[in-house]
Amino acid sequence: MDLDVSAIPYTVATGAPPSSDDVVEAIHVAYDRSLDLTDGAVADYIPELADTSPDLFGICVAEVDGTVQGVGDVDHPFTIQSISKAFVWALVCEEIGDEKLIDLIGVNNTGLAFDSVMSLELNDGHPMNPMGNAGALATTALVPGDSPDEQWEFIRRGLSRFAGKELELDEAVYRSESASNQRNQGIARLLEGYGRIGSNPLDVVDVYTKQCSLLVTATDIAVMGATLADGGINPVTGERVVSETVCHDTLAVLAASGLYQNSGEWLFRIGLPGKSGVTGGIVTIAPGKAGIATFSPRLDAAGNSVRGQRATAYLSRRLGFDLFASRPHDPSGDSPR
């Protein structure tokens, strides 16, 4: 689809970020409002994750001016899992451009589970959803590098730049996932059969498993989200990680597909792009304002943190982050009616 707008710059009109005092108050209220939720269960399909304490809970907001504030278990390490998909997609988009990614992978939500094979068969091997496992594996296969080791190092360095610190591999989780990722191996082989992966599919799965096994904290993923919110500049380090255009493209993909098969309801209720992972992390991006991170391991049936969803919904409304919220225009120009 050629809309002939590639030369037209985006006009950013997101309004002023909330004050730091408002953010501090809001995250404490969001924490207290969500702490008593005990619904959901810790992910156990990866054996190493089954022993995670279900009571862990943290909320962090990283603003585009570099201010980072949190409450609860914001410094507790957990593996990034599917949240990595968003940032690897951004890194690959920076390298090869969005048109190639759209052609090879797609940007649509299939409405099916994150590890679905059916979507591949229904769409002639086209992954469609870059935030599902098939699309993420196809994206990882496109990472620059002459060997799996070089591809892995590209990913590790790139996600570290997003976080503003060196990220490390959780060896125990990596080994546990590697011993139980037969489904991803099957998806990768199917992608190879459809010509969507040109390298060894088992090498692709191994690199993908490593990217999911990187250790982060809620503070880290808040900063990663804030980097996408700030046009690709890490607001803590000041380093440009990706371009403004890549940020736009990544956030659009997350709006459509970031919360698995519940992405439509998430966008309806929260009004922001976000990405969840099965260790209980959710990163949400308020463009031009902040990255919001929550961490709580109890998940709903779709694999999204129960407490994290409630807390983020409150912050989106309380801090004026919802992209779809509006007020009637005041003809006098003084203030909204």
The residue from 260, 289, 296, 314 that is catalytic is 260
Identify the burial level of 237 via C-beta atoms within 10 angstroms of its C-beta, where 0-12 means exposed, 13-18 middle and 19 or more buried. middle
The residue from 23, 61, 82, 316 that is catalytic is 82
Q: 208 an active-site residue? A: yes
The residue from 42, 85, 107, 223 that is catalytic is 85
Q: 260 an active-site residue? A: yes
The residue from 34, 119, 174, 208 that is catalytic is 208
Q: 64 an active-site residue? A: no
Identify the burial level of 99 via C-beta atoms within 10 angstroms of its C-beta, where 0-12 means exposed, 13-18 middle and 19 or more buried. exposed
The residue from 278, 305, 306, 314 that is catalytic is 278
Catalytic residue positions, numbered: 82, 85, 208, 260, 278
